[in-house]
Structure 1
Amino acid sequence: MDQYLPALEGKSIALLINHTSLVGQTHLLDTLLASGVDVIKIFAPEHGFRGDLANGEQVNDGFDQKTGLPLISLYGKNKKPSKEQLEDIDLVIYDIQDVGARFYTYISSMHYMMEACAENGISFLLLDRPNPNAHYIDGPVLDPAHASFVGVHPIPIVYGMTVGELASMIKGENWINGSETLDFNIVALKNWTRDSSYTLPISPSPNLPNAQSIALYPSLCLFEGTNVSMGRGTDFPFQAVGYPDPNFGDFEFKPRSIPKVSKYPPHKNKTCYGYDLRSVSPPNKIRLSYLIDFYQKANNKEDFFNAFFTNLSGTSELRKQIEDGWTEEEIRTSWQADIKKFKSKREAYLIYK
C-alpha cells in the first residue's frame, strides 16, 4: 500500500471492487477509509459488491450498508459508467480477483471502466492479483464480430495474463476509446511467476468454490452454451457434467435451487447422468473431450447448442467443427496460427516471468 497511498492524497476516489478486494482479512474499502482516503463511490461488477448474487442475477444500485457510500451496478443495462456517475471523481481503483478466462465478466467491467476514465480524464489505478490459470494459453481467439459482455477482447479463452498485464494490453493495443490519453498505473505483484502454484484465498464468485472448479472453468463454461448441466445447483459446480439421460454416464446428480448461488440451474430437480470431475487432474489446456462426447451421445443434436455458445467461444467455427465431427486435436490445431500471433503481441505487455 505504501506504493500507492501517497498518490491518493487530496483526491476523490471511486472503487471498482467486490468481495475479493481484501487487504489481509480486511476489505480494501474499510482499509482505505481507515487510512483517511476520500472514497466517495463504489462500482460493483457481476455478482455484486459482496459477491453473493448468482450468475445473471440483477445487481442493483443502492448504498453500502456499512459505510453509507453510493453503490452503482456495472452489470445489466449499465455496463459502462456515465459521465454523470463519474462526476467529481479524480481516480478509480480496480481491485478484483480474476481467474484468467475471457468469458469471466470482471475483465469486461474493467474494460468499460478504463474507457470511461479515458473519456472523462480520470486516472485509473489497478492493484494486480495472481491469475490461477496463467500457466497456459489455449482456445480460439475471439472474432470481433462475436464480441459481447462475455468476450470483449480479441484474445484466446485462456490468455495467460494477470489483469494488470491484460489492462496494459487493452491500453497499448488501443482497444478502448481514448486509450492514448488514459492516465494508467499498476501496482505489480511481488514473488509471483506464471508457474507459481496459487490457491485463491476466497471464492471469486458463487459457482467457483474451490481450486478444482477454477481449473476446470475454462473447459466446462462452454457447456453454458448447450443443454447440458455443468453442476450448477449442486455442491460441486463446474466439477461435473450431466444430462437427464442414463446414456451420458454413470455419475448421478440432481441440481436444486440454491439462493444466491444458482437460483434456476439447468435441469432443476431432475436426475442428471454424466461425469464426476472432482478428482481429475487439473488441465493445462482446454479439454474439449467432454463437450465432443456429450454432443456425440445427444439424441436431439439440433437442440444441443444454443445461441450463447457462439458468444462464449467467441467464434462461429467451434460449433461447426464439433457438428462436423472434428477431433479435439484437429480443433486445437486450427487455433494455433491465431494463438501464435496473440503470443507475439502479448509479449510486450508481460510484467512477470
Structure 2
Amino acid sequence: MILLSICLLQLAAGAQIKTGAEQTDLYLPMLSGKTVAVFANTTSVIGKTHLVDSLLKKGIRITKIFSPEHGFRGEADAGATVGNQVDAATGIPIISLYGNKTKPTAADLEGIDVMLFDIQDVGVRFYTYIASMQRYMEAAIENHRLLVILDRPDPNGFYVDGPVLDTAFRSFVGMQPIPIVYGMTIGEYARMLLGEHWVKGDTAFRLIVIPCKNYTHGSRYVLPVKPSPNLPTMQSVYLYPALCLFEGTPVSLGRGTSKPFQQFGHPAFPHEGYSFTPESVPGATHPPQMGEVCYGYDLSAINVEKATGNRWSLQWLLKAYALFPDKEHFFNGNGSGFDRLTGSSTLRQQLREGLTEDEIRKSWEPALSHFKTLRKKYLLYAD
C-alpha cells in the first residue's frame, strides 16, 4: 500500500485554516477526465457551496454519491435507516452506506475511476463517520480504485483520552483499538488504518490525503456546518465525547430539545432546580423520555475546557449514576449498548463497584499510553 500526503504545508502563524476540499489545485488534476464517486454529506462544503456542486461547476464528472449516517443532506435521526435516493439538485444517484449496507459493492463502483471522501468528523470513536470511512476504504482496496481523502480539522483533536476499545466489542460505533477521543483527523486515522494493517489490501493500493493548511492539533477549529442534527453548536461538539455514554442509559442528554448534548437529566432525579422536557423534533423524532419532565443539569454555558481539563470527563456519568435511584436499571437492556460505546464491559462494572474517576482512569493504562505513541507515526500536523 502507498500512503501519500500532498504537500505537507508549513503552519503560518495566525493564518486561516484551509480544509483539504478548499485547496482544489491539489486534487482537481487527479479528477479531471475521470469518473468520480463522492462520499459526502451536508458538511462537505467549499465555503458556502457543497463540494459536489463546486466540482460539477468545474467540469468534474461525478456519477455517484455515497452518504453516511444522517444521510446526504444530514437531517436523518441518529441510527435511522436512510434508503437510496436521487439528489434533487443534481440528479445524481445517492447510495446510503448506513444500516444494513455499510460498504460499496463492486457493482456500485462499476465505471468509477476515483473515489473521493470528504466528511467532517468530530474525533470521537463512536461517531460513525470513521467506521464509514473504513468501509469505503476497504471497497477502494478490494476494487482497485484510487481513494482521495479531503482532510478536515478535528475539533476535538487537542487531546487524547479514554479507554481503548477491546476488539471483542467491535461494532459500527467502535471498530479499532483506539481510545474514545483519539486526537486525529480523518486523514491521519486513514493512514493509521493502513499502516497498522487494520484493513487488508494489496500493495498497489494508493491512499492520497489532501491535508489542511495552517492547522495543528492545538488549533480550536470552529465548524462552519453542524456535523449532524444533534450537534448544533461547538459546545455540543465539545461535550459529545462525555455525554454520548448516556445513549446506553435511560438518562436524556437533551435530544428532542434546543440543547442536545448540552444538558442531561431524568424524571427520577431529584425534583429540584433545572428541568427540561424532550419532544419530537426533526432529527430526534422519538427521543428518550419524550414528553417527560427531566430534572438535571444545564451545561450549555459552562467552560468545557475548564470543567474537564482537556480530558475525557467521567464527572457527569458518575453524577448521574449516583442520582439514579434504581441502579439495577441504569443501563439499558443488558448493558450491551453502553459496552459498545465504551469499548468493553469494564466501565459498567467499575460504576457498579463504586470506583472513583481516578481509579477508573488508572485502569486505561498502559493501553492509552501505547496508543499515544502509535498515533505519532501517522500525524500530518504538529501536536
TM-score (norm 2): 0.90
CA contact (8 A) 1:59 1:73 kept: yes
User: Aligned ranges for residues 5-84 of structure 1 at < 5 Å?
Assistant: 5-84=28-107
In structure 2, what residue type is equivalent to 1:210? T
CA contact (8 A) 1:138 1:156 kept: yes
User: Aligned ranges for residues 120-159 of structure 1 at < 5 Å?
Assistant: 120-159=143-182
Query: How far does the alpha carbon of each residue in 1:64-110 deviate from its partner, in whole angstroms, 9 at most, with x for none?
Result: 11111111000110011111111111111110101110000011100
Q: Which residue is equivalent to 2:319?
A: 293
Distance 1:272 1:179 in 2: 53
CA contact (8 A) 2:162 2:181 kept: yes
| Deviation (angstroms), 1:40 | 0.6
User: Aligned ranges for residues 179-328 of structure 1 at < 5 Å?
Assistant: 180-247=203-270, 250-259=273-282, 261-282=283-304, 283=308, 284-306=310-332, 307-328=336-357
Query: How far does the alpha carbon of each residue in 1:103-151 deviate from its partner, in whole angstroms, 9 at most, with x for none?
Result: 0001110000000110110110000001110111111101110010001
CA contact (8 A) 1:171 1:179 kept: no
Q: Which residue is equivalent to 1:94?
A: 117
Query: How far does the alpha carbon of each residue in 1:9-42 deviate from its partner, in whole angstroms, 9 at most, with x for none?
Result: 2211000000010011111101111111111100
Q: Which residue is equivalent to 1:161?
A: 184
In structure 2, what residue type is equivalent to 1:72? I
| Deviation (angstroms), 1:181 | 3.7
CA contact (8 A) 1:103 1:150 kept: yes
Choose 299-308 or 261-270, whichever is displaced more: 299-308
CA contact (8 A) 1:248 1:297 kept: no
SS where residue 162 of structure 2 aligns? coil
In structure 1, what residue type is equivalent to 2:86? F
Q: CA RMSD in A?
A: 1.1
Distance 1:132 1:249, change over 3 A: farther
CA contact (8 A) 2:272 2:295 kept: yes
Distance 1:207 1:249, change over 3 A: farther
In structure 1, what residue type is equivalent to 2:208? N
Identity %: 51
Structure 1 runs (4+) deviating above 3 angstroms are none
In structure 2, what residue type is equivalent to 1:318? L
CA contact (8 A) 1:248 1:294 kept: no
Query: How far does the alpha carbon of each residue in 1:291-349 deviate from its partner, in whole angstroms, 9 at most, with x for none?
Result: 11211222211111122000100111111011100101111111131111001111110
Distance 1:146 1:179 in 2: 27
Q: Which residue is equivalent to 2:16?
A: none
CA contact (8 A) 1:242 1:248 kept: no
CA contact (8 A) 1:174 1:180 kept: no
CA contact (8 A) 1:172 1:179 kept: no
Distance 2:60 2:102 in 1: 26
The runs of 5 or more residues in structure 2 that have no matched partner are: 1-23
Q: Which residue is equivalent to 1:113?
A: 136
Out of 176, 179, 187, the position equivalent to 2:199 is 176
> How many pairs are equivalent?
352
Distance 1:248 1:75, change over 3 A: farther
Query: How far does the alpha carbon of each residue in 1:238-295 deviate from its partner, in whole angstroms, 9 at most, with x for none?
Result: 0001000242762100000002x20000000000001110112113111211111211
TM-score (norm 1): 0.98
CA contact (8 A) 1:247 1:297 kept: yes
Distance 1:11 1:248, change over 3 A: farther
Distance 2:342 2:271 in 1: 23
CA contact (8 A) 2:338 2:348 kept: yes
Distance 1:173 1:249, change over 3 A: farther
Distance 1:315 1:246, change over 3 A: closer
